[in-house]
């Protein structure tokens, strides 16, 4: 039975999924917008939005939580997330990302753009 297992596996092991989501989140926070498959974008959305919400606190603990969730990335990424992205969404109660479907690619997969609002 698949009770409470609502995450997509994305044809990867647990460690592979974690690494994928971390990499996609770092790219999203760095560039503000990325093109990926629709399934990956839908999995990335709650992961990224929880980090933005945590960054709203602006505390040292929040910075450490973000760095841990992103796999200890460069300090500039955590600083940008807390000082720029979270501050820009201070009055917003959620929904920090937008997914725009692009349709099928040449390779036959459903592509989507995920961007920060």
Report whether pLDDT(44) > 90. Answer: yes
Residue 72 is predicted with a pLDDT of 86
Residue 26 is predicted with a pLDDT of 97
Tokens 């300090």 sit on residue:
75
- What are the extents of the domains in the chain? 14-116
Average pLDDT, the chain: 95
Please name which of 112, 34, 19, 113 lies closest in space to residue 71, comparing C-alpha atoms: 19
Dump pLDDT digits (tens) for 28-40.
999 999 999 999 9
Residue 73 is predicted with a pLDDT of 85
- Residue 39's SS3 state is helix
CATH of domain 14-116: 3.90.1030.10
Residue 7, both tokens: 């995450």
Q: How confident is the model at residue 4 (pLDDT cuts 50, 70, 90)?
A: confident
CA dist 39 and 56 (Å) reads 27
Residue 5 is predicted with a pLDDT of 78
Q: What percent of the chain has pLDDT over 90?
A: 91
């Amino acid at each position: 039975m698949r009770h409470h297992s609502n995450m997509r596996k994305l044809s990867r092991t647990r460690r592979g999924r974690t690494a994928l989501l971390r990499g996609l989140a770092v790219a999203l926070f760095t560039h503000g917008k990325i093109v990926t498959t629709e399934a990956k974008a839908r999995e990335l959305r709650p992961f990224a939005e929880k980090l933005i919400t945590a960054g709203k606190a602006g505390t040292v603990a929040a910075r450490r939580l973000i760095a841990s969730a992103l796999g200890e990335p460069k300090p500039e990424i955590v600083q940008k997330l807390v000082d720029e992205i979270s501050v820009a969404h201070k009055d917003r109660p959620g929904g920090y990302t937008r997914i725009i479907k692009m349709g099928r690619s040449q390779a036959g997969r459903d592509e989507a753009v995920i961007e920060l609002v």
